[in-house]
Every structure is written in structure tokens, then in C-alpha cells.
A = this chain, B = another copy of it.
Amino acid sequence: MGMTAVDRAPKQDRSRATRQRLLEAAVACLAEHGWAGSTVSVVAERAGVSRGAAQHHFPTREDLFTAAVEYVAEERSSALRDLFPQGAADRRAVVRALVDLFTGPLFRAALHLWVAASDEEQLRARVTELEARVGRETHRIAVDLLGADESRPGVRESVQGLLDMARGLGLANLLTDDTARRDRVVAQWATLLDTALE
């Protein structure tokens, strides 16, 4: 969208677009530079927004970055639901897509935020709460898309374990490209999951 189109948009839409640009820039910044290198000023510049406008949307640094991780997590969750509108057509494809949630910039950004929160009291409560909310939503999507019946013994824990494994695979991918090994692990554990869910 060029500047002219933005200028013509109503004020509320412009404000929403600014907010969105800030959130996306914040996640990219966290993923690339970590918490120490991520300030409101750096993000505002990256988003092409004035520092004042950024602070109007997000009064504190904690506000900006927790909102950013939540926003991008929600975007990715809806994208995942849209990928499988009919639910568990192909369980392996669903497992692969779930694991993919934990690679890429969103996971890197979230990881930086978690690790920073483990050392900083101000962030800790915010990120703990955010993490619980995002975790519950991811679990819900996984249960739906996998067609898992959680009333059966062990099914809930099988899905949780899959998401824990996905998180661990994300961590294994942080410093090197772990794609080839990850594909083999995911194929094997998708088979084991099938046993647990049938």
C-alpha cells in the first residue's frame, strides 16, 4: 500500500495500520537482536513511525513486546486453522504444521522474551500470563486439527507432549538448520501419536 492510499484511509484504519506495523517490527526486532537490542525507539524507526506515535500505542517497552508476540501468535494460529478448514484430513500434515509454529521468527522472538523474562521481574508476570494464554490456544488448535478425543486416557498428555517436542525442536533449530533431522523425528513421532490417538 503506497502513502497516498494510507493518507486517504480513515483515521481509525490508519491507527490500526500503524499499530500493526509496530507489532510486526517488534517481533522482527526481537528475533534479530534479542531483548537487550530491542527498544521502543529501534522498533519505531524500523516501522517508519515516530517515537511519540509508538508510545501513544504502547506506553512501555513491556507493553509493546508482549503485545507483539501475542499478535503474531494469533496471526499464526488463524493461519494454521485456515490451512486445515476440514480438520484432521491428514494427521501427519497437521503434526508438521504444528511443529512449524516453533521454527522461524515468531519462535525466536518468543524465546528471547521468555529468557529475558526469566531474569527480569517486570517482564516475568506479563510473559508468564501471555505464555499460558498462547499455550492454551495452541493446545486447543492441536486437539481440534488432530481430531483428538481428550476424554480418553492419555490423549491430552500425548498432545501436550507433541507440543513440548515441537518447542524442543524449535530450540534445536536456533543455531543451525536442523530441518533434515527434524523431518525424520517428526515422521516417527507422528506414527507414535497415531497409536495414542486411535
Which A residues form the contact surface with B (CB < 8 A)? 32-34, 36-37, 108, 111-112, 114-119, 124, 127-128, 131, 154, 157-158, 160-161, 163-172, 174-176, 181, 184-189, 191-193, 195-196
Residue among B115, B165, B175 making CB contact with A161, cutoff 8 Å = B165
Residues on B with beta carbons closer than 8 Å to the beta carbon of A158: 188-189, 192
Residues on B with beta carbons closer than 8 Å to the beta carbon of A32: 119
A165 to B182, CA, bound (A): 12
Residues on B with beta carbons closer than 8 Å to the beta carbon of A114: 171, 174-175
Give min CB distance, A175 to chain B, whole Å.
5
Which chain B residue lies CB-closest to A183? B157
A64 to B192, CA, bound (A): 41
Contact B189 A161 (CB under 8 A): yes
Residue pairs across A and B with Cβ atoms less than 8 A apart, 16 shown, are A34-B118, A37-B119, A108-B118, A114-B175, A115-B174, A117-B175, A118-B175, A127-B175, A128-B175, A131-B175, A158-B188, A158-B192, A160-B185, A161-B192, A164-B165, A192-B193
Residues on B with beta carbons closer than 8 Å to the beta carbon of A127: 175
Which chain B residue lies CB-closest to A157? B188
A148 to B42, CA, bound (A): 50
Residues on B with beta carbons closer than 8 Å to the beta carbon of A195: 192, 195
Q: Which of A37, A114, A119, A164 has the most CB of B within 10 A?
A: A164
Contact A172 B164 (CB under 8 A): yes
Contact A171 B168 (CB under 8 A): yes
Which chain B residue lies CB-closest to A164? B168
Q: Which of A32, A186, A188 has the most CB of B within 10 A?
A: A188
